[in-house]
Chains A and B, each alone.
Chain A
Amino acid sequence: MARYFLRLGRINRNIKSENMFSRILIANRGEIALRIIRACHELDIETVVVYSEADKDAPYLQLADEAVCIGPADCAKSYLNIPRIISAAEITDVEAIHPGYGFLAENIEFAQICQECGITFIGPPVEAMRLLGDKVMARKLAQQAKVPIVPGSDGEIKDISDAIKLANDMGYPVIIKAAAGGGGRGMRIVHNDISLRSAYNAARTEAEIAFGNGSVYLEKYIIEPRHVEIQIMADNKGNALHFYERDCSTQRRHQKMIEESPCPVLDKHTREKLCEAALRVIKEAKYVNAATVEFLLDKNKNFYFIEANTRIQVEHPVTEMVTGYDLIKWQLKVASGMPIKMSQKNIKHNGVAIECRINAEDPENNFTPCPGKITKYIPPGGPGVRVDTHVHQGWTVSPTYDSMIAKVIVHQNTRAAAITTMKRALREFVIEPIKTTIPACLDILSHNLFVKNEIDTGFVERNF
């Protein structure tokens, strides 16, 4: 393996607090593994990163203090394999594990095993994860916290006649969702009794296959909603702070493409109520560490809780840019036992940040994944531009993993300036010869509905 980086001495010997971890393991890969390594370097925490054989040449492995191969490319034998990851944690004698996002980040069994092995899981306590991880239980919790939820079934749908009665009571259209799911799987939107019958069975089957749990519930389908989420951080002393919102309405098939902060159509009053509602849900669950509470905003500015994500999210840099705080460092500090001493009024929102996710997919060909070797790679730069990626010239994008290869985040004083800078950055960004979603992002950013803030979660699929 060629060596690329200067040996890093300890950067910050004096800054580490007493309780801070001296060494942690990062149970993830790619850009988020690198992101966590960077935060650890600045906090003087030693890092161990695990990798599969497919990632053996990733340069970020050399930025960690140790890298341990845990298996072949197949996720089940590597990044999703709890025994191998725990084993790696034991032989490298780490105090904590950061699970990143995806993979085992929201796996209750993994969090539990970490606890039993005396390893701190950098995330919520098992019980909080259990309460908020199940979508049906989370809805109940939100109701307890007096947070409006999307009208829907009171728990799992027992059978098709149950579903039909409820759908007619609420009024069509309705959406069927998997209780154990996410990422758009096990979801079906239906407009009448006939399509409900077939969709109900199809959704149950899909949920069973994807999540091992066929339970589904029903919600009223809100027409042309915006997706607005609130970033929260909570400590183990009951303190919780919000870091304002992100608007993630630019989605394709329930996968986010572009995220921004602030939500361009929120007024001050609604924002306050949203943030307070999010904090209530988190406190009701006795949650600790980073979370995101997701809502739908309808055209009348009513908001409805849909779910909570019990992990750090892909789009966390958007919030970092507008608030000036490093969320990964906060996660590490909270997990090591440091209480949050800051008060809410110290968290200010500045300017506008936008993030574009760049995937190795062909937008002209139904976004078919395009793995392969990147022979030419020139990332953008200049004022207001941040690029979070593990990818470089010569990197081979593997078909085994997620197709996201980079995130471009821009921060400017106004939304118009942020859009201008993002377009400039995307035009500078060279990734060849594989196809990427850069042209699709440019098209969206130039669309007059996007510019005028007249978008909703169906905007991309209707117009592109």
Chain B
Amino acid sequence: MAEKDIDLKKVKELIEIMKQNGLEELEIKQGDQKIFLRRSQPQSSAGPIVTAVPMMRQEFVSPQSSQSTDVVGQTTAKHEENLIEIKSPIVGTFYSQPTPDSDPYVEVGSSVEPQTIVCIIEAMKVMNEIKAETSGTIAEVFVTNGQAVEYGQVLFKVRPD
């Protein structure tokens, strides 16, 4: 991916500023560029870690790619292995609850069994009830009510019993 050249002189100046002011982390956004600097503890390494992160250009929207920004629920289950994914078997619109006024079928922490309905995906005016097809606890919800979903899109992750 093309990156604009990082101005090294500027980075050195920023490092100096951090040292002088005892800052541990510094993040600067400018246009489509972002610079993030973190000083590690004095005893563990030589100097600050510099990571230049170019801002992504607006990505072509595939519903798949937007899933990470639409996380609903209190805790995201980071780095947990062995989570089972519930994926959309069809193309359509995701509804988390049976009617607009009711509670969602499941939330983070809900317990599920194979026959538990976890959501509805509407396709061509047909409301398809999607079953968990696994046992466990909902660890993460990846989609929001009314969101368009494609085939294979991850809807939930389940922590098996």
Contacts and interface: CB of A to CB of B under 8 A. Distances in A.
A66 B90 contact: no
A210 interface: no
Which 10 residue pairs across A and B have the least CB separation, nearest first?
A: A91-B148, A87-B123, A87-B91, A69-B150, A68-B150, A69-B151, A88-B91, A67-B62, A71-B151, A84-B91
B58 A7 contact: yes
Interface residues of B, number: 22
A83 B124 CA distance: 7
A340 B93 CA distance: 39
B92 A91 contact: yes
Interface string A344-383: 0000000000000000000000000000000000000000
A3 B151 contact: no
Nearest to B94: A91
A86 B124 contact: yes
Nearest to B148: A91
A325 B151 CA distance: 37
Interface in B45-84: 57-65
B96 interface: no
A236 interface: no
A87 B1 contact: no
Given A84-B91, A87-B91, A91-B148, A69 B153 contact: yes
B152 A68 contact: no
Contacts of B58: 7
Nearest to B61: A66
Contacts of A7: 57-58, 60
Contacts of A1: 65
Nearest to B60: A62
A3 B91 contact: no
Given A69-B150, A69-B151, A69-B153, A83 B60 contact: no
Interface of A: 1-3, 7, 53, 61-62, 64-72, 78, 83-84, 86-88, 90-92, 117
A109 B90 CA distance: 20
Given A53-B152, A69-B151, A70-B150, A64 B60 contact: yes
A87 B92 contact: yes
Nearest to A6: B57
A67 B65 CA distance: 10
Contacts of A69: 62, 64, 91, 150-153
Contacts of B123: 83-84, 87, 90
Contact of A65 (B61, B64, B93): B61
A65 B62 CA distance: 8
B4 to A, nearest CB: 14
A454 B123 CA distance: 55
Interface of B: 1, 57-65, 90-93, 123-124, 148-153
Contacts of B91: 68-70, 84, 87-88, 91
Nearest to A86: B124
B124 A68 contact: no
A92 B123 CA distance: 12
Given A83-B123, A91-B92, A67 B148 contact: no
B86 to A, nearest CB: 16
Nearest to A62: B60
Contact of A68 (B57, B59, B63): B63
A86 B61 CA distance: 19
A382 B91 CA distance: 43
Determine which residue in A65, A88, A91 has the highest number of CB atoms from chain B within 10 A of its CB, and name it.
A91
25 contacts: A3-B1, A3-B57, A3-B60, A7-B58, A7-B60, A62-B60, A66-B61, A67-B62, A68-B91, A69-B62, A69-B91, A69-B150, A69-B151, A70-B150, A72-B151, A78-B151, A83-B123, A84-B90, A84-B123, A84-B151, A87-B123, A88-B91, A91-B92, A92-B148, A117-B124
A70 to B, nearest CB: 5
A70 B62 contact: no
B151 A66 contact: no
A70 B150 CA distance: 6
Nearest to A8: B60
Given A69-B153, A71-B151, A87 B90 contact: yes
Contact of A66 (B1, B62, B149, B152): B62
Nearest to B126: A83
Nearest to A2: B1
A70 B151 contact: yes
B145 to A, nearest CB: 14
Given A62-B60, A65-B60, A84-B151, 4 more contacts: A53-B152, A64-B60, A69-B151, A91-B149
A284 to B, nearest CB: 35
B150 A90 contact: no
A71 B149 CA distance: 12
A28 B128 CA distance: 26
B8 to A, nearest CB: 26
Nearest to A3: B1
B144 to A, nearest CB: 14
B131 to A, nearest CB: 19
A169 to B, nearest CB: 51
A86 to B, nearest CB: 6
A171 B61 CA distance: 62
Contacts of A86: 124
